[in-house]
Amino acid sequence: MSKNKLRSGIAGVGMYVPDKTVTNAELEKIVETSDEWIQSRTGIKERHIASTEQAASDLGVIAAKQALANAKISPSEVDLIIVATATSDMQFPSTACIIQAALGLNDVPAFDVTAGCAGFIYGLSIGSQFIENGTYENVLVIGTEVLSKITNWTDRETCVLLADGAGAVVLRPALPGYGLLALRLGADGSGGKHLLMPAGGSRMPVTSEAIEKNLNTLHMNGHEVFKFAMKKLPEAVEQVLMAAQIDKNEVALVIPHQANRRIIEAAARNLEMPIEKFMINLDRYGNTSSASIPIALYEALENYLIKPGDNIVLVGFGAGLTWGAVAMRWGM
């Protein structure tokens, strides 16, 4: 680990969730489920759901503006916009371009990243390269999702998990000794069949038949994804800590993708780390895919769970199948 290497740090964080909350009791009215089952199998109590008018960019813009304000950066200073999303406003243009226009910017590059629930970690990793090689100074990385729009509300195995929200960070060059210390990304395309939306792309355009079969909604083999997450989450944390040369006892907080409390608890056991060192807020937000890590990071900061100099790990896993982890020393 070179001491003089320019590193990227997080200068500001923002989040936004739609006003409407849906409790487990409300879901009991639309599918055969129970609050007891959802809480004991996932840890989720309620989630936020977008209005019919709200698209991914609408949520992302609000989170981005808050991240910029917290970083004390005006939108005009942004050099690059990266948006991680699996629920883009439309196939094209990218949601990043839509957000760029909504922020009143032109000329700055903007693009989307598709890496499922690991999308934010992929976006952060890409954005940090531009900071570290000196190309850009202010990079906006946004994770935004309206999973409710691709949810099959008759499928109890998925509809109780998925939710809407957005989180954003501003990356800037960090002071020596702070910022992103190491990253690890991975993918296993052979597992893609376990978590997908079959229709809506060039393989299977949306037809009335596809709609009838709900193929334009998220399909998941929960058991396979569970097994994958149970293996990859602790593995990714271990690998990134090794790359950063940090002992797990020196970690102040792990901020994992918020999919299922049991996955996070198992990772804590596997890593022999206390569960208190894992940020968990999925009880109130459900699984917001690429937005879950920046939302959890925002709340960790709000609750003073991170202070300057702390070592933290962000870790995600999801459709692809993909995974990724970042180790950082907090502070600028």
Ligand X SMILES: CC(C)(COP(=O)(O)OP(=O)(O)OC[C@H]1O[C@@H](n2cnc3c(N)ncnc32)[C@H](O)[C@@H]1OP(=O)(O)O)[C@@H](O)C(=O)NCCC(=O)NCCS
The residues carrying an active-site annotation are: 117, 257, 287
Residue with tokens 């990253």, as numbered in its chain? 183
Spatial separation of the C-alpha atoms in residues 274 and 307, rounded to whole Å: 19
Min separation Cβ 281 and ligand X, Å: 15
How big is the site for ligand X, counted in residues (CB under 6 A)?
19
- Which tokens sit at 137? 């100074």
**Site stretch for ligand X (CB under 6 A), options 74-82, 173-181, 221-229, 231-239:** 221-229
Should residue 45 be labelled a site residue for ligand X when binding is judged by CB under 6 A?
Answer: no
Q: Determine the Cα–Cα distance for residues 292 and 163; give it in Å rounded to an integer.
A: 10
Quick one: which of 41, 45, 149, 284 contacts ligand X (CB under 6 A)?
Answer: 41
Candidate residues 33, 39, 114, 214; the one interacting with ligand X per rule CB under 6 A = 33
In the complex with ligand X, which residue's Cβ is closer, 39 or 129?
Answer: 39
The answer to the question of residue 157 lying near ligand X (CB under 6 A) is yes
Q: What's the angle, vertex CA 106, arms to CA 105 and CA 110, rounded to 5?
A: 90
Query: In angstroms, what is the minimal distance from the CB of 257 to ligand X?
Result: 6
**Using alpha carbons only, what angle is made at residue 134 by residues 187 and 247, rounded to the nearest 5 degrees?**
50
How far, rounded to the nearest angstrom, does the alpha carbon of residue 167 sit from its chain's CA centroid?
A: 8
CA-to-CA dists, residue 303 to 43, 171, 239, angstroms? 20, 21, 28
Among 110, 113, 225, 313, binds ligand X (CB under 6 A): 225
Contact string (CB under 6 A) for ligand X, positions 261-300, x = contact: --------------------------x-------------
Interhelix angle 95-102/56-71, nearest 10 degrees: 60
Binding site for ligand X (CB under 6 A): 33, 37-38, 41-42, 117, 156-157, 160, 220, 222-223, 225-226, 229, 259-260, 287, 318
